[in-house]
Amino acid sequence: MLKSTKGKKIMIYTIKPVKLKERTNVNKDELDLKAIEKKAYRSTFQDGIWDIYIGVLLLGFPLSTIGTLFGLGSLISMIFIIPLFYAIAIVFLILGKKKITVPRIGHVKFGPKRQKRKKELVVFLSLLFILNIVIFVLTNLRVVEIGGLLIINIIIIVVPLGIVAYLLDFRRLYLIDFLLGIGIYLTIELEDFLGFPLSPILIFGSIGISIISWGVYFLTRFFKQYPKIEKEA
Amino acid sequence: MADKKEKKKLFLPKFSKDDKFIHQSARLRLISLLYVIEEADYVFLKNQTGLTWGNLSSHMEKLEEKGYVDVKKEFKGKKPQTTAKLNDVGRKAFEEYRQKIKMMDKMVKEAGSTS
């Protein structure tokens, strides 16, 4: 503000309490680097492909028990059907990310912190795989008795999946983990009432189908939101 | 007069030409994004910033000319892919700019709480 008294010019500085955006024309969100990074990272999960992948994995479990209805042993049934579903799921995940996600949202390499987490995830999953095999062999050979079925499933499925959700920073995975925990509990509790294999078929089947359904919903929304870009302009 | 100058020095961070260059909204969005990731192609940058192809390539060209980003053009199969990465010069310039904006923000807040 400029004032004139007795021919002298005096500058008076006033600072109005205005928001940063008004004073500097910078939206604070544009400088919130954590939020920018999170938004960019989480956009890679908008496609629902991880959800469908996990849903197919879960569906493999109840479907593997169907073999028992046709007189196959539950172990043989599991050995053939579960790996088949694992294979279908992993092929879908890899091809889906390569052929659907990247051409639409683009290619990105995240910073060192995310890369470190990715490495930790690989190490964790490898250890988990070994642990699962050890527990599977030891409990089937009855070398070790590890509490009840509920405890084993919590140790080998629910807790690790929570850690995977944390390492992946994939929030929907916490919900999937929660559903899985409930599913395991209900399968065991309702086994006397529904019988085997109806109990896992009904409970895990519904959970798997629900997860696949919302995955398909996210995928459809993703197709609409991000049309395929054939050529960079 | 000297007192006034002192006041100015205390309160207002000096914005250089480079800061004004970064300050442009589209470039600021691009630099902020490139700062938090290692590298990304133009498709990703376009989707995240909401810029049009024309805007994106013109601002990326300016950033490249300024020496802030390294741009790599290659072919993935038959499709061209342009990848950008914020280099050390760009990182440093953005950090300085950010520091000044933070100071400005702090100053505005302090003024708001005292008035």
| Tens place of pLDDT per residue across chain B (115 aa) | 445 555 544 556 778 888 889 988 999 999 999 999 999 999 999 999 999 999 999 999 999 999 999 999 998 888 889 999 999 999 999 999 998 888 887 877 777 666 5
CB contact under 8 A, A36 and B32: yes
> A interface mutation test: which of B30, B47, B78 has the most A CBs within 10 A?
B47
The span from the CA of B9 to the CA of A12, in Å, is 15
Other CB atoms within a 10 A radius of the CB of residue A183 amount to: 23
Query: Which residues, other chains included, contact A113 with Cβ-Cβ below 8 Å and sequence gap of 6+?
Result: none
CB contact under 8 A, B80 and A232: yes
With 0-12 / 13-18 / 19 or more C-beta atoms within 10 angstroms meaning exposed / middle / buried, residue A173 is buried
User: Is residue A1 over pLDDT 50?
Assistant: no
> What digits encode the pLDDT tens for the residues A14-29?
545 445 555 555 555 5
User: Is residue A202 over pLDDT 50?
Assistant: yes
Token pair, residue B57, equals 């390539």
> What digits encode the pLDDT tens for the residues A93-143?
999 999 999 999 999 999 999 999 999 999 998 998 888 788 777 767 766
Quick one: DSSP state of residue A200?
A: H
User: Is residue A231 over pLDDT 80?
Assistant: no
CB distance A96 to A60 below 8 Å? no
| Mean pLDDT computed over every residue of chain A | 82
Run of H or E residues at A108: strand A108-110
| pLDDT at B19 (0 to 100) | 85
User: Is residue A9 over pLDDT 60?
Assistant: no
Rounded to a whole number of angstroms, the distance from the CA of A168 to the nearest CA of chain B is 16
Dihedral Cα A95, A97, A101, A102, nearest 10 deg: -100
* Tokens 């902020």 sit on residue: B32
Q: With contacts defined as CB-CB under 8 Å, which chain B residues touch A105?
A: 43-44, 47
CB contact under 8 A, A37 and B37: yes
User: Is residue A46 over pLDDT 80?
Assistant: yes
Name the residue among B4, B23, B48 with its Cβ closest to that of A40: B48
Quick one: DSSP state of residue A30?
A: G
> What amino acid is encoded at A225 in this protein?
Q
* Tokens 């910073």 sit on residue: A111
Closest-CA residue of chain B to A14: B111
> What digits encode the pLDDT tens for the residues A166-187?
999 999 999 999 999 999 888 8
Q: With contacts defined as CB-CB under 8 Å, which chain B residues touch A47?
A: none
| A2 band by pLDDT with thresholds 50, 70 and 90 | very low
The span from the CA of B114 to the CA of A63, in Å, is 68
Q: Rounded to 5 degrees, what are φ and ψ at B79?
A: -95, 135
Closest-CA residue of chain B to A110: B37
Task: Name the interface residues of A facing B (CB cutoff 8 Å).
Answer: 11, 13, 15-20, 23-26, 28, 30-31, 33, 36-37, 39-40, 43, 103-112, 115, 226, 229-233
| pLDDT at A206 (0 to 100) | 93
Question: Which has more confidence, A59 or B70?
Answer: B70
The span from the CA of A194 to the CA of A192, in Å, is 6
Among residues A188, A113, A125, the alpha carbon closest in space to that of A161 is found at: A125
CB contact under 8 A, B53 and A11: no
CATH numbers and ranges of domains, chain B: 15-114 (1.10.10.10)
What mean pLDDT is predicted for residues A152-156? Answer: 78
